[in-house]
Structure 1
Amino acid sequence: MKISRGLTPSTSRPYSVVTIGNFDGHHHGHRALLDRVVATARREAGTALVLTFDPHPVKILAPQVNLMFLTTPEEKLARFEAAGIDEVVFLEFTTAFAALSPAQFAKQVLCDGIGTRELYVGEHFAFGKGRAGRIADLLKLGAQLGFRVHPMAPVTIDGEVVSSTRIRQLIHAGELQKAIRLLGRPYSIEGTVISGAHRGTELGWPTANLRLPEGRVIPPDGVYAAQVSWKGSGLNAVVYIGTRPTFGAGERLLEVSILDERLELYGEVIRVDLLGFIREDRVFASAEALTRQIALDVDAARAQLRDAGTTVSLPALQPRS
């Protein structure tokens, strides 16, 4: 998969079939767009192309908003490649770029910049200065400039529109099962295992600790059923997110206790797929009381994992070549 920074019109890029967006989360709605783009590009022996922005437009247009993301840039690119996208074009989003009129955006970016022949976007797509351009404008401009526009209706699941905003809200609220349904997969956090205070080992439940990544959506503090991907294996686990208030609040971490196996994971990169909420975080009267509760948490995690049928390995994303 080719990655381009800035507009790079090229006569060697055949029949550009394009979609536009930030694609944070790569959820069911995103995949519907990407599938149509890839299918059309293959039919026309063309290029399946994603036009996206860096930084996210909200960071420029509304810097006061503390926008958190569902995917890392690396994960997003890996998922584009897995979907069959041939090229990803990153445009720097600046105040000057945001000031382009709808007509300027269509001419300078879509037509002259990437040679768009067909464009797939959501039917509520807005573009140009102040988001003034709408689908009717895009259809008219496409007809003038020589590219076809295909508006797509939003994907809905159980009557709910699938969107990154809604998924962020669900994860922030700890409603992981609803988020999984809209995402089409578990919500994942990846990181390198660090050394901790070894309290888990002292309590009889050793943990692998991860620092929470900056800028990512994090569920509420508490305990979760999870599965860990490590070296191609899927390992059932119970996860704690929080500051360990029973021992005096410390750094907020993600602590993973692998079920049924004792593994040396310090320094290893693992992916944690969060599958279901078990309980909120709270202070316990003693270490012994906490140990008893952890045993109950493990039982609850096993039940959730069994009900979800997650005893087989979940596929890991492959690194880009």
Structure 2
Amino acid sequence: MQVIYLDEPFNSKTIYPGPIVLALGFFDGVHLGHQRVIEKAKQEAQKKGIKLAIMTLDRHPSIAFQGVPQTSVKYLTPLKRKLELFVKLGADITYVVALNDKIVPMGPQEFVDKYMVGLNAVTVVAGADYTYGKKEIANMTTLADYGRDRFKIITIPHLKKAGFKVGSTTIRQDIDEGKLRDANKLLGYIYQTSGVVVHGKQRGRKLGYPTINLRIPTDERIPGEGIYAVKVRIIGKTVIGMASIGRNETFGVGQQQTVEINLLAFSEMVYGEQVVVEWYCKLREQVRFPNAQSLILQLEHDKQATERYFE
């Protein structure tokens, strides 16, 4: 897949010169609803014998349009992960548009002229709630007025599960509350985060349950505090484990939140290694134990629950 970064004003020579079908959206999470948009665009591209392109943004729209601090935004799929999922969905090209101070005030007509017609789109596919400016005037209903019959428009209705819209907001809430089973159903795949193995306080090792401690990128969303059944991809291996997100209050209050994973059947030293964590389900809430022995007994139960889950 070719990735083309567009920074307004962009150089038209960087644009793919042939006709394309263009799927539009921010696509945080690339969930089942997003996948339906991209799959429809792929079908259209195959029918026409042309390339499928996806256009996304380099940052969350709330940063540019609502003044939300960039450091406070936690993505379901940071850009690197999003691009991986686009490849799996068969995209030929992804345009990553920079939400800079030149594009934010751009009117809908100029945006359509530059970022749809200007990208050689012969068909544009987007979800029913897609906007390209102020939603009152720059929505899928008004797109035909700005498009002026220069491209075909396909609007994909909201995907619903159990009567509710499949959306990134719901998935974020599920992940924050530790409802990984629910989130994974709406995503259509197992939610994952990345991290680097760092040195911890080695309490787990002293208890007989050594853990890897992870430093998670600040823009990635991690589940709410609790104990989870996970799989970890590390040094070319996939290992099951039980993850703890919490503050280790058994050893004192007021400690920083950590992400620690006890890997079953794995004992290699991996400090500094990059890992990918797949989050399957929440086993239990965090508990402050009266002593270390009580914690050890619970850890044994957690290990058994993890093994049973993956059986």
TM-score, normalised relative to structure 2: 0.90
Which of the numbers 219, 223, 226 marks the counterpart of 1:215? 219
Shift, 1:137, TM fit: 1.3
Give the conservation status (yes or no) of the 8 Å contact 1:176–1:277: yes
Kindly tell me: are residues 269 and 278 of structure 1, through their superposed partners in 2, closer, same or farther at Cα, counting changes over 3 Å?
Answer: same
Cα distance in structure 1, aligned partners of 2:41 and 2:133: 22
Partner of 2:46: 42
Q: 2:84 aligns with which of 78, 83, 92?
A: 78
Aligned-residue Cα RMSD (Å) equals 2.0
Give the number of aligned pairs: 304
Q: Does 2:101 correspond to 1:98? A: no
**Distance in 2 between residues matched to 1:23 and 1:270, nearest whole Å:** 24
Distance 1:193 1:79, change over 3 A: same
Cα shift readout 1:128-175 (whole Å, capped 9, x = no counterpart) = 345522222112333x15100000112222322211111001101111
Output the CA distance in 1 between the equivalents of 2:232 and 2:251. Answer: 26
Instruction: Give CA deviations for 1:104-139 in whole Å, capped at 9, x if unaligned.
Output: 22223211x212110001122222345522222112
- Equivalent pair of 2:124/2:151 in contact (CA under 8 Å): yes
- Cα distance between partner residues in 1 of 2:283 and 2:242: 9
Q: Which moved more, 1:267-276 or 1:125-134?
A: 125-134
What are the equivalent positions in structure 2 for 1:1-321 lying under 5 Å apart?
A: 1-6=1-6, 7-9=10-12, 13-64=17-68, 66-111=72-117, 113-129=118-134, 131-142=136-147, 144-248=148-252, 249-306=254-311
- Rounded Cα–Cα distance in structure 2 between residues aligned with 1:181 and 1:130: 29
Matches of 2:83 and 2:222, distance apart in 1: 21
CA distances 1:199-244 after superposition (whole Å, capped 9, x unpaired): 1111010111102321222222111111112244332111101121
Q: What's the CA shift string for 1:167-203, capped at 9, x where partnerless?
A: 0011011111100100111211111211211111110
CA distance in 2, matches of 1:12, 1:125: 23
What do the CA deviations read for 1:59-90 (whole angstroms, capped 9, x no partner)?
Answer: 01112374321112211111112222111112
1:256-293 Cα shifts (integer Å, max 9, x gaps): 11123333322222211111111222221111111111
| SS in structure 2 at match of 1:135 | coil
Q: Provide the secondary structure at the position in 1 that maps to 2:269.
A: coil
C-alpha separation in 2, matches of 1:270 and 1:131? 43
CA distance in 2: counterparts of 1:8 and 1:89, whole angstroms: 13
CA 1:184 to 1:194, structure 2 compared with 1: closer, same or farther past 3 Å? Answer: same
Offset of 1:254 from its aligned partner? 1.1
Cα 1:231–1:39 change in 2 (3 A) is farther
The farther-off stretch of 11-20 and 69-78 is 11-20
Identical-pair percentage: 28
Q: Give how far 1:8 is off.
A: 4.9
For 1:12 and 1:237, the matched residues in 2 are separated by 44
Aligned partner letter, 2:73: L
The range that moved more, 89-98 or 30-39, is: 89-98
Amino acid in structure 1 at the alignment position of 2:230: A
Classify the secondary structure of the residue corresponding to 1:271.
strand
Segment drifting more, 167-176 vs 80-89: 80-89
Given the superposition, is the C-alpha separation of residues 209 and 12 from structure 1 closer, same or farther in structure 2, using an over 3 Å criterion? closer
Q: CA deviation at 1:302?
A: 2.1
Q: Distance in 1 between matches of 2:289 and 2:213?
A: 21
- Following TM superposition, by how much is the alpha carbon of 1:101 offset from its aligned partner in structure 2, in angstroms? 2.4
Assess, with a 3 A threshold, how the Cα gap between structure 1 residues 9 and 291 changes in structure 2: closer, same or farther: same
The answer to whether the 8 A contact 2:21-2:51 is kept is yes
Secondary structure of the structure 1 residue equivalent to 2:175: helix
Amino acid at match of 1:235: V
Q: Which amino acid aligns with 1:91?
A: V
In the alignment, residue 141 of structure 1 is paired with which amino acid? Y
